[in-house]
A and B are shown apart, each in its own frame.
Chain A
Amino acid sequence: MNNTGTEQAILEVRGLHTIYQTDDGVVKAVNGVDFSINERETVGLVGETGAGKTTLALSIMRLLPERTGRIPEGEIIYKGENLLKADKEYMRRIRGANISMIFQDPMNALNPIMSVGDQILESLVIHNEEKRSGEELNKRVDELLELVGISAGRKHEYPHQFSGGMKQRIVIAIALACNPKLIIADEPTTALDVTIQAQVLALINDLQQKLGTSMIMITHDLGIVGKTCDKVAIMYAGEIIEFGTAEDVFNGEKHHPYTVGLFGAIPSLTSEAKRLKPIDGLMPDPTALPEGCKFHPRCPHCTEECKTGEPYLYQKGEAYIKCNLFREEK
């Protein structure tokens, strides 16, 4: 789509591990994730529920639940600075101003007893480094509302007076308020009606093009990825098991068996198949992950070597696949 920006990585994640310490044991939610995102680029993060996508997003924002969530190792580098080493105050300034987030469920993402205008304004006030006057900030609120397709006259209304799709537009306006460099959209359309989904998605896409923001699009919907993303990362059990351009992942020849399974699980207009092929089995319990390749209990191509040790890392340019199937190719 648009890959015209300079090939400068805006955010780099290296060897990220995130765990939750719960009463039932240590939940290994993210297990060694590496990827980077360039300016003006959209990376799609795809996987089933429980693959660790949201945890990855919250780790980048450093918004993990304080008591349970921990990042034992890894680096998250934004503009040359490791965010995992940054102090709380630095991180607070990054959030909203540089990296912002659109949440999954717009129904609960807005404060019910604060007018929507005030909630957008709040973001501007927090990061008002240029010391703009209140009047200017209010004008910016009107501008933002119009930008997401809501009449500025409704800014004094409360969240309960808006529909789900409208609320998500307001959440988007909040995320865009301070012209962030990177937006993390965590399944922004999952909670919406199908007809509204398309509208909101088109809006996000449109604004991203217009404003030149980078974006991480988290979704379990491959259709959305195909429409919006430049690069795709497929996540399974807290790992990125396949990464590449949208072209690689959608039309390339080599795929991780899980990716093949994912594509088999969506209906296609062109193929002749009468039935969908679901992936057998369930996502492993994150408190007790299997040894070796984490997909091996469900993999149709599983061999003895898959059950122990890390799977082979097949690389081709920027793209990679973590699977022993491609070992002999070298």
Chain B
Amino acid sequence: MSRYIIKRLLFIIPTLLLVAFIVLFIMDLTPSDPGTLILGDNAQPEAIEALNEELGYNDPFVVRYVRFIWNAVRGDLGESWQTGRSVTSTIAQRLPVTATLALGSLVFGSVIGILLGILSAVKQYSILDFFSTTLAMALGAFPSFWIGMMLILIFSLGLGWLPSFGAGGIKNFILPWATAGCFMISSLLRMTRTSMLETIRMDYIRTARAKGQTERKIITGHALRNALLPVVTVLGVSFGTMLAGTVTVETVFSLPGVGLMIIEGIRMKDVPVVTGATVVLAAMFTVLMLFVDILYAFIDPRIKARYAKK
């Protein structure tokens, strides 16, 4: 098992290298250069060129890529062309906001999604089931940033209960959590319900009934654990989607997080900022997926056994 974990951890390195490569490569196509950004459009072309040369912008792509990786390993993601500030420190300052948003929504979305999923499977064809599946369909179809704006209209502007922007305290995060959690509720609810319905029909559930086990313990002890296996995978993927979705949610609620940083970077054509922030978010996602894989192996003895053998 530990060998498997080490193997997976080692696999992260080439993945991150490639992720950085793709992001750098794409951003390299941006029609923007540090000289113009720093000195302004009206500066002398020679001066711009000289500055580009000095900053290493004219080096071949591969050289810049290796330099980026080399510096990134030592915790330096470069400096903003726009402000000259260290990208690493800007991210460090903004990451807590994004992390609070993402983790809070993860908890909110998964608790509600999984709980409703279980209930609607156990009470299939009931009113609750109908309500839950309709809710899941709706939350999955309407854009989360629009749901966010509707929430602002109702709870901030209409009722005046909650603030609509900024990242002051817990109160500021309630609406963003609900907004970003919507998509997770939708996918987790549907997945949990389907998986649970499938599990309830398995033979070993009948075996448990034949033993005289109580219906409650059959659901919590036998069905749930088996049903949650595929849900864990979906949890990982939808967390990734949500992580990227923080970009829009942070825009709607003006939360100063990494997502908003990417948007501002793109508007300013500030390549190091966009590259650094995107690589950090992608790395977070990669690590999370790895964590999900390992978690999966821990709850399913069959998979654990397969890896133990290898």
Contact = CB atoms under 8 A, between A and B. Distances in A.
Pair from one complex: yes
Contact-residue size bin, chain B (C-beta under 8 Å from the other chain): 20 to 34
A14 interface: no
Given A108-B204, A113-B225, A95 B300 contact: no
B212 interface: yes
Given A63-B206, A171-B207, A174-B207, A112 B212 contact: no
Given A113-B301, A160-B302, A108 B203 contact: yes
Q: What bracket does the count of chain A residues touching chain B fall in?
A: 20 to 34
A95 B204 CA distance: 15
B207 A112 contact: no
Interface in A84-114: 92-97, 100-101, 103, 105, 108-114
A133 to B, nearest CB: 20
Nearest to A126: B212
B212 A108 contact: no
Interface in B277-310: 299-302, 305
Nearest to B207: A109
A105 B229 CA distance: 23
A103 B208 contact: no
B226 interface: yes
Given A108-B202, A109-B204, A110-B204, A160 B210 contact: no
Nearest to B306: A160
Given A108-B202, A113-B299, A160-B305, A122 B226 contact: no
A97 B213 CA distance: 11
Contacts of A110: 204, 207
B209 interface: yes
Interface in A106-140: 108-114, 122-123, 126-127
Contacts of A108: 202-204
A213 B213 CA distance: 22
B2 interface: no
Contacts of A67: 125
Given A113-B225, A114-B222, A123 B203 contact: no
B83 interface: no
Interface string B231-249: 0000000000000000000
Contact of B206 (A94, A96, A103): A103
Interface of A: 61, 63, 67, 92-97, 100-101, 103, 105, 108-114, 122-123, 126-127, 158, 160-161, 171, 174-175
Interface of B: 125, 202-204, 206-214, 222, 225-226, 229, 299-302, 305
